[in-house]
Structure 1
């Protein structure tokens, strides 16, 4: 997994005396060549004359100062001691040569002189963008993959809601008349939460509203750096007191509880960070040692000595594989986190390295320096990808999830840069040097503070939307008075919202009752239809049975009638007597009586069928009307509910504000009681 270390030398010792004489070779070439060739800018025709005029005194194959020769095309491609100088990713401002001759980085070339003329810079720019052609017959060099290409990652994003303060105390340990210089600012990676370092405390604010959410005591001194854990659930605070003690404290963001204190340094800790699972903490300070502790037992795992001056910046890579550290003498080292061995020694800065920040994918490291630059480093090769001229001593630099950067500078500015290192905008200037800066979890806001103690929370797309934060909030009694006043106003809003809601709720209830009544009526009719359907089915079966009974009864009556006639004939012949004839006549009478009864039953059944069929048709005819009544009532209900929803939402929001303020007042009162 280890990647080959490459040491860097940041200077390309381009040297020469130069004069401010413009070269006309490009124009001459365009006049003497066809249109297709006129578009080509080549080394032999256009660039080499510029090098001859300004550079070849020191950078030739005979002398090669800094290992760089510029008098042959192949030598230019090979570059110098720090690798390629005229081509990297096809982007001219990513070329090291361009950065130096355009005075975007140091050491400026030619040394101690003005930039070469603008028209010559334009030739160099066109040559690099055109693929650094050797001559008119050359083909453009294939562009390399841009090392600044970036796909936003979600490493560390919690599965549920991101952590926000819930029961963090509201007590203010230290109240000062005026704020001190801002020494630490951090934004949660996944929530609208800002942490600001103050005197013996860390103050938590809502990132969008600027509301004070709680105060974390840091009794050991002044926080020098604040970092959130990768999931945003914990806060790492490094600091202490100069020449007395230093440490890193770990806090639970939700409760404000300090869950661990790591390190027992004899001097202040300027910066500290923990790995993702919080098993190890790295810290550095005036002792020039990068110390890595085991959080589980507090033991010192590594005591790394390579820096020659105060360590000002420390950060774990997002994958916990590497640790970057920077010092006051421009030293910048990347270490293997598991072994403590140096991985890269990144030379290039000419001033103190004040800040380091990792891009989310861990492939790019940004370093800020008092030399006025932010440098972006490729962690696969160790190459410097880009050097950004910020315009003043860089005090802080930080990536956001989109790969954008924010810088804090001694020129009183905080500046946002895109993922390619191009300036997006300067944010509103402050009174003095800006010392700390961070971008919010969604990149929509920037928080930065200066030497005077000012802290701005600014919308990055509309810097006019600015909130002011403080590292020294007022004491508990002032907070209580302000919260009580807000609570009173919020309760009045809640009462108004509740009063507005009541008549609409009554209207909605009336509509609900009407809908329910219409639905019940419709359901009753449908139930009756089902009942009639079942009854008619039974009657139809009964009718069929009656018809069968009549058929049989008619047959039996016919038989009895025939038997009676036969009996009468037999009586005349003397075959039977009167008693037998009477019996036959009775049987006939009974059979016809049964037939008559069956016919009456059939008629009654048919009358029932007719009656129930009529009822069914009548009820069936009312169904569409009832369905429309239900639909109309339901429509009126929905309209009333639509009217209700925004009013109810207003009431719910007002209630939430009241509950929040009640909790705030309670916590402030508890803080006051605890201080008595």
Structure 2
């Protein structure tokens, strides 16, 4: 048996979890991980020969890390472990070098060890697991309270006309509006992301924009660029009017990276001069001149909360600075190629860096650890950006743009031609990815339907060529408007026709209910009359009885005394009057009582008739609802066509004014 074979046999237990066998309940360095490292790594990484400054033969030296920092952490996050990224071939240089990836069972042990809290031995206890910084809740921070900014009166004239577009050097999407800005020769072109309509062209006579960023609220456009070896600057534009609000910096070479803080009070820029310069946006005064980078600064970005600034350079240098003081906050190492672009997640806790080494790294801003290293584009990553969901879009030299979820898992890839993809953006709602390549082509692509992509021109044709197309659109819209108005009028008439029988029915129902109410009131009045008569009749009856007794007494007296005749006549007359009055009251009560039933019968009859009519109203209401829905639809169609027609007419008027 060879020495090498014997060596491997001695440590077979370390990598010898049989296929399908369960992992140990407690994975430790001494018992499980160290034998794997001894088998594959210790020839180069030991106390006597610390390649890269890293020794792996003791627990202490492994935890201490090497020249590039720590390689494992006790937070249970395997994805953020540099050791795991290298042995799992998620990042370069892959380990072990010039060999295949470690066997799955050994990788499973290493991962379980990291996720278990990197225990040293069987007596070690794991610390409480920390929350992974990839956990993210979408934010609306920075969104304006009122309407979002969209171009309203930006010129349509093309400052520079060329046969073809140059390589796409910069593009950005508004964080809150359907708007994308694309860099062209001496101009910035604005398009509607949902309709792909050209909304305006901003002149940039100083040269070519190398970086475009929208302000946090989307109301301003920050453009860094210039002309190589001539001049570099940062221009800030009002998105609504296109007015240049400020011109900041006066570099002797172009500006590659530029951004403004959340309050637009400061502007940072960097370029071939290797200096990160920070200016007061109001006065233009230079506040800081930061000298850390050793090569051209390619990208600069303020954190959304304005606390930090990130800058990346051509040699892989990646720095994070305190925005207020200019002090270095983090010096992030790990990339093996140029940092082409940096981007912040909405919560300012995670920074993404796109590198020529083919990876995108996600950095935790609390401790500077690498949360995730994504092998995004093997031949080099040229651009990276976040959306509000924490998802990533990247562009690469492999001629692809890609969309990734918040954990770094690829969702979709977009390819156009064979030229390097240089820039990428995600629309404000996350539904579209816009990307541009070396050949000067830009595509606005729906994520759910990539075949529906639309090309956007970075160098639009002259206004005189475009105005004919706009006029044609106007004529087409005007032709659509007339039938839409006729359809709307017809629909409105149908609503009126459907409403008329309902109004007539409602009038009849109201009349019947009024009659029922009147009958019911009459019945109640009759009841009150009966009640009053019932109260008065007992008294009348008693009085009648008394008068009868008086008449009887007088009659007896008259038999004995003839002179009592007059008295008898008067008594009988009073009795007769009382009888008449009582009889009348009794007749009134009989009549009133009879009218109660009559009025109640009439009320019931009117109510039943009203309810019968109401029962027939349902079908009429259905017809009216259908007519109203058709009218609403017709109105919406008409209003939409009218609005577009008015918008196109306004655009024609503006273009004609510019042309003249």
Matching residue of 1:148: 134
Q: Is 1:508 aligned with 2:495?
A: yes
Question: 2:179 aligned with 1:208, yes or no?
Answer: no
Using the TM superposition, name which of 153-162 and 96-105 deviates more.
Answer: 96-105
Q: Distance in 2 between matches of 1:51 and 1:597?
A: 124
- State the 1:284 CA deviation: 1.7
Task: Flag the 1:549–1:27 CA change in 2: closer, same or farther, 3 A.
Answer: closer
What secondary structure is seen at the aligned counterpart in 1 of 2:450? coil
CA distance in 2 between counterparts of 1:382 and 1:426 reads: 29
Q: Could you tell me how far 1:608 is from its partner in structure 2?
A: 3.0
Q: Is residue 661 of structure 1 aligned with residue 648 of structure 2?
A: no
Corresponding residue for 2:163? 177
Q: Cα distance 1:317–1:587, how it changes in 2: closer, same or farther (>3 A)?
A: same
Confirm or deny: 8 A CA contact 2:155 2:200 kept in the other structure. Answer: yes
State the partner residue of 1:6: none
1:587 is matched with which residue?
574
| 2:298 aligned to which of 308, 312, 320 | 312
Question: Once structures 1 and 2 are overlaid, which stretch shifts more, 80-89 or 389-398?
Answer: 80-89
Call closer, same or farther: CA 1:21–1:225 in 2, change over 3 Å. farther
Match of 1:75 among 25, 48, 61: 61
C-alpha contact 1:22 1:117 (8 A) present in aligned 2: no
Aligned to 2:240: 254
Cα distance in 2 between the residues matched to 1:375 and 1:572: 139
CA distance change for structure 1 residues 505 and 31 in 2, over 3 Å: closer, same or farther?
closer
Aligned partner of residue 206 in structure 2, secondary structure: coil
In the alignment, the residues of structure 2 paired with residue 78 and residue 350 of structure 1 have an alpha-carbon distance, to the nearest angstrom, of: 22
Aligned runs of 1:331-480 on 2, under 5 Å?
331-389=317-375, 390-480=377-467
1:386–1:601 CA distance, 2 compared to 1 (3 A): closer
1:319 CA displacement: 1.5
CA distance, structure 2, for counterparts of residue 34 and residue 163 of structure 1 = 58
| Aligned match of 2:46 | 60
1:538-595 deviation digits (Å, cap 9, x = unpaired): 1111123234444444444444444344444444544746544443343333333323
Select which of 468, 473, 490 maps to 1:486: 473
State the match for 2:654 in structure 1. 670
| CA deviations over 1:376-429 (Å, ceiling 9, x no partner) | 222111223333332122221112222222222222221223323333332113
Indicate yes or no: 2:217 matched with 1:231: yes
Cα displacement (A) at 1:224: 1.9
Q: Structure 1-normalised TM-score?
A: 0.86
Residue 626 of structure 1 corresponds to 613
Residues 348-391 of structure 1: per-residue CA shift (max 9 Å, x gap):
33332221111222122111222333222221112233333321
Tell me: CA distance 1:460–1:140, structure 2 relative to 1, closer, same or farther (3 Å): farther
SS at 1:411 equivalent: coil
* Within-5 A mapping of 1:41-56: 51=37, 55-56=41-42
How many Å separate the matches in 2 of 1:410 and 1:356? 17
Instruction: Assess, with a 3 A threshold, how the Cα gap between structure 1 residues 139 and 430 changes in structure 2: closer, same or farther.
Output: farther
Aligned pair 1:194/2:180, yes or no? yes
- Contact 2:517–2:603 (CA<8 Å) still a contact in 1? no
Query: Is the 1:40–1:136 contact (alpha carbons within 8 Å) kept by the matching residues of 2?
Result: no
Q: Shift of the alpha carbon at 1:218?
A: 2.8
Deviation string for 1:302-332 (max 9, x for gaps)? 2222223322211111211111112223222
Q: Distance in 1 between matches of 2:43 and 2:186?
A: 58
Q: Secondary structure at the match of 1:218?
A: strand
8 A Cα contact 1:73 1:134, kept in partner: no
> What stretches of structure 2 of length at least 5 have no aligned partner?
none
Q: How far is 1:466 from its partner?
A: 1.3
Say if 1:316 and 1:583 are closer, same or farther in 2 by CA, change over 3 A: same
Which string of whole-angstrom CA distances, capped at 9 and with x for unpartnered residues, describes residues 123-172 of structure 1?
54223123168999688966654333333333223334433334444333
Q: Which of 107, 110, 114 in structure 2 is aligned with 1:125?
A: 107
| 1-structure distance, mates of 2:227, 2:653 | 31
How many Å separate the matches in 1 of 2:252 and 2:657? 35
Q: 1:360 & 1:31 partners in 2: Cα distance? A: 43
CA–CA distance in structure 1, aligned partners of residues 585 and 382 of structure 2: 111
Q: CA deviation at 1:463?
A: 2.6
Deviation at 1:99, TM superposition (A): 4.1
Separation in 2, partners of 1:579, 1:349: 142
**Structure 1 residue 272: Cα displacement:** 1.4
Counterpart of 1:13 in structure 2 is none
SS in 2 for 1:356: strand
- Asked if 2 retains the 8 angstrom alpha-carbon contact of 1:407 and 1:416, the reply is yes
1:517 — aligned with what?
504
Query: Is 2:180–2:191's contact at 8 Å kept on the other side of the alignment?
Result: yes
- When residues 33 and 522 of structure 1 are mapped into structure 2, their CA distance, relative to the original with a 3 A threshold, is closer
Structure 2 CA distance for aligned equivalents of residues 214 and 20 of structure 1: 71
Query: Structure 1 CA distance, aligned partners of 2:526 and 2:168?
Result: 94
The answer to whether the 8 Å contact 1:52/1:71 transfers is yes
Q: Which deviates more from structure 2 when the two are superposed, residues 532-541 or residues 649-658?
A: 649-658
Q: Structure 1: any 5+ residue segments left out of the alignment?
A: 1-18
Partner Cα distance (1:411, 1:440) in 2: 22
1:611 matched residue in structure 2? 598
Q: Is the 8 A contact 1:43 1:127 kept in 2?
A: no
Aligned equivalents of 1:247 and 1:21: distance in 2?
Answer: 66
Contact 1:448/1:455 (8 A) holds in 2: yes
